[in-house]
Chain A
Amino acid sequence: MYVAVKGGKKAIDAAHRLFADKRRGDRSVPAMTLEQIANQLSFAVDRVMSEGSLYDRELASLAIKQSAGDLIEAIFLIRAYRTTLPRFGASRPLETREMRVERRISASYKDMPGGQVLGPTFDYSHRLLDFTLAADGEVADPERPDEAMTAQLGHVAEILDREGLIEPVPADAENEQPPDLTREPLEFPAGRKLRLQNLARGDEGFLLAMGYSTQRGYARGHAFAGEIRMGEVEVEFFAEELGFNVPLGRVKLTECQMVTQFKGSSKVKPQFTRGYGLAFGQSERKAMSMALVDRALRWEEYGEELVAPAQDEEFVLSHSDNIQATGFVEHLKLPHYVDFQAELELVRKMRREIEERDEAESQEAAE
């Protein structure tokens, strides 16, 4: 037994070489390409882009490959890369009404202008393992909807809006620079814009659990999926030098508008209220959970009571980020023997004191 006084660097290098070997696996199996990941693991790529806050399918695919499929590790790689990128400014607000819809469903109406567009989805599939996939069976070409039909579908909430049955969308000051939680420390109260920004990059599992808790009575507000839509939206940037908006490209998004009943107050008549969710790619679970949590966090606006974790801004926003969470949880792996020695010394001292006291007492009793 020896006290290692040198050697950490060698051990770390060796550990990293072992990991690189494990990641590559059996050399007789072909290595995955980024194209394969981007095409065939699209939900993983979407999640990494969403929570990594960087829309780049190729880099997300690389991160997934590099992390051997550990998605939180992949998100971490993307975040660490993203933080080094220069900021040119903020885009114009996205017009999701102009989305080229691939999928658009509403649970609150049977039918509406534009109709229900199921698009590509797991929903309604039987969750039976498909052994033809294991055998790499051929996949038939799908029927595609007429593109003209799925462009510019009005939001379902507009139907309620025309009757004044739903709260209006808060007007935004023109050209107001949005806050950026990656450039300013988060302080409380944060307000809805920062909250949504935080939720948009928040962990899908955390938001799912928080959203789920609101359905089970912790800040219950019966929510309807007013609309979920997924498709490409154009991103525009206002160029000061030119004086007009310049298109930068398109991003695929999933947007969810939850519609929740509000009984009204002395000032406001009963109406429906909104919860909003938005995520890169096809990320319905994330967008829906986000919308539920967004609505729960707005309790103060409606004079509701703060009774549950999902409503608690400081609690939700401080714990939603999986990169912060995983780092701090996993840092327990780091050596802590200095603190542990301090605790050992304390526990021994406390035990010694109790033993001495007991001994003194038993001696007194004997006398």
Chain B
Amino acid sequence: MPIRCEIVSQDRIVYQGPADIVVLPGADGMMGILPNHSPVLATLQFGVITVRHRGKEQYFTVAGGVVEVQPDQVTVLADAAENVEEINLQRAEEAKRRAEEMMSKTPPTDADEYLRLQAALRRSNLWVEAARRYRQRRSKS
């Protein structure tokens, strides 16, 4: 029996459908959710969510958030989630380069600004890596 899996970000539903296993980047490490998992509320960190259904895998990048697990349902409340297929690699690389440039050229003195820039850098890094990893897998199969 598959689990219902929903990934929602603030402005849209990113994914909705059945899954045999969902692998999430939990705050304390990766967690794999199978059907009939006991109820869990957990925070997420930057990372990739893997949704597998009937041998097919889909990947989603997520920049933190909260997940609610129930025996028959996984709900991810994500900050900025994307399907890896939707990522524009060129744009992601550009964003990464820009963030790196800003980090090295004009290191922000303000702590808030620094954190924000670091978050942007991490996010773009995540996009680039996820897109690369996904593409490799597709070319093999």
Judge: A and B partners, yes or no: no
Residues of B within 8 A of A (CB): none
Residues of A within 8 A of B (CB): none
